[in-house]
């Protein structure tokens, strides 16, 4: 795999158990690239992300993510792979019984961080990147939905990953807040990290154009969307 290529799938069959939802997938994503993945519910967007994250095994074919081969990945290697990945969920998955600082501290300790000073410094650094440096003491329920999603992005950045995988990260947010989140994700991409984002929000793709892939009829296609295509997608969304 070339040094600047962080995701590579060749003739990959993707699905759950023996049920294939995407077949013969060929995909290459480079450092600093922003890639949208679109498609109807059940078309394979989330399964693709879960396979890259080693949450689902690769059914057939070859895959290399951040230097790790997916087809022969050992269980003990999965945590090492995931340290190179940052995951942004639609539903936040924050621990509601502890502060934002404590949420991030928990995530760092779970990935092997032990030095208290280094932990505190890293938490302050990532919260500053998402413009929440002054809210680490608050509980999740004291933050707006957009602020909680910023915390999720901060958590994804903790281990300085090569790749950010975002599964419908704006799905529960208002349009103006969604645009704020997109600005952060685009900035992350410009910093040299690859960002792959599954979304149904075609307005965002229209306002923040980038390489777009479409899951359709069991295949992954490049999607060069015209103005009319966007209008049709928005009508059917």
Q: How confident is the model at residue 172 (pLDDT cuts 50, 70, 90)?
A: confident
Strands 85-88 and 163-167: parallel
Residue 228, pLDDT score: 72
Residue 218 is assigned to a structural domain of this protein: yes
Residues 44-62: tens digit of each pLDDT: 999 999 999 999 999 999 9
Q: Is residue 96 domain-resident?
A: no
Whether pTM > 0.85 for this model: the answer is: yes
CA-based nearest residue to 21, from 60, 62, 78, 74: 60
Residue 135 forms part of a structural domain: no
Q: How confident is the model at residue 201 (pLDDT cuts 50, 70, 90)?
A: confident
What mean pLDDT do residues 180-200 have?
94
Out of 85-99, 119-133, 222-236, least confident range: 222-236
pLDDT band, residue 233 (cuts 50/70/90)? low
Q: What is the pLDDT of residue 40?
A: 85
Specify if 33 maps to a domain: yes
Residue 101 lies in a domain: no
- pLDDT bin (cut points 50, 70, 90) of residue 235 is low
Beta strands 5-16 and 60-65, pairing class: antiparallel
Of 8, 48, 28, the C-alpha closest to 211 is 28
pLDDT of residue 171: 85
Mean pLDDT over all residues of the chain? 91
Structural domain for 230, as ranges: 5-84+161-236
Structure tokens at 42: 């059940």
- The total of structural domains in the chain comes to 1
- Write the pLDDT tens digit of every residue in 4-37: 899 999 999 999 888 999 999 999 999 999 999 9
Is 50 part of a structural domain of the chain? yes
Average pLDDT over residues 189-200: 94
Residue 169 token pair: 């990260």
**CATH code for position 70:** 3.40.50.300
126 within domain boundaries: no
Task: List pLDDT tens digits, range 97-153.
Answer: 999 999 999 999 988 899 999 999 999 999 999 999 999 999 999 999 999 999 999
**CA-to-CA dists, residue 150 to 183, 191, 214, angstroms:** 11, 17, 26
* pLDDT at residue 237, as a whole number: 53
Question: Can you tell me the distance from the alpha carbon of 235 to that of 237, in angstroms, rounded to the nearest whole number?
Answer: 6
The enclosing H or E element of 128 equals helix 116-129
User: Does the structure show a pLDDT above 60 at 234?
Assistant: no
Cβ atoms of residues 205 and 212 within 8 Å: yes
Predicted local confidence at residue 17, as pLDDT: 85
Mean pLDDT for 220-233 is 74
For residue 164, pLDDT over 70 is answered with yes
**Does any domain span residue 150?**
no
């Amino acid at each position: 795999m070339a040094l600047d290529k962080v995701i590579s799938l060749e003739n990959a069959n993707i699905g759950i158990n023996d049920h294939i939802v995407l077949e013969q997938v060929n995909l290459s994503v480079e450092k600093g690239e922003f890639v949208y993945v679109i498609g109807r519910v059940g078309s394979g967007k989330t399964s693709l992300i879960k396979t890259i994250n080693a949450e689902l095994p690769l059914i057939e074919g070859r895959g290399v993510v951040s230097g790790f081969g997916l087809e022969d990945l050992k269980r003990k290697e999965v945590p090492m792979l995931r340290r190179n990945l940052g995951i942004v969920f639609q539903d936040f998955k924050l621990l509601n019984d502890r502060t934002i600082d404590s949420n991030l501290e928990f995530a760092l300790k779970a990935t092997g961080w032990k030095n208290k000073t280094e932990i505190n410094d890293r938490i302050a650094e990532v919260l500053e990147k998402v413009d929440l440096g002054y809210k680490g003491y608050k509980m999740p329920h004291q933050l707006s939905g957009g602020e909680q999603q910023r915390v999720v992005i901060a958590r994804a950045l903790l281990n300085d990953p090569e790749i950010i995988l975002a599964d419908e990260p704006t799905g529960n947010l208002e349009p103006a807040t969604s645009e704020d989140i997109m600005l952060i994700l685009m900035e992350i991409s410009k910093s040299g990290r690859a960002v792959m984002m599954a979304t149904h929000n075609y307005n965002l793709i229209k306002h923040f154009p980038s390489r777009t892939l479409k899951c359709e009829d069991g295949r992954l296609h490049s999607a060069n969307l015209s103005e009319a295509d966007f209008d049709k997608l928005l009508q059917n969304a």
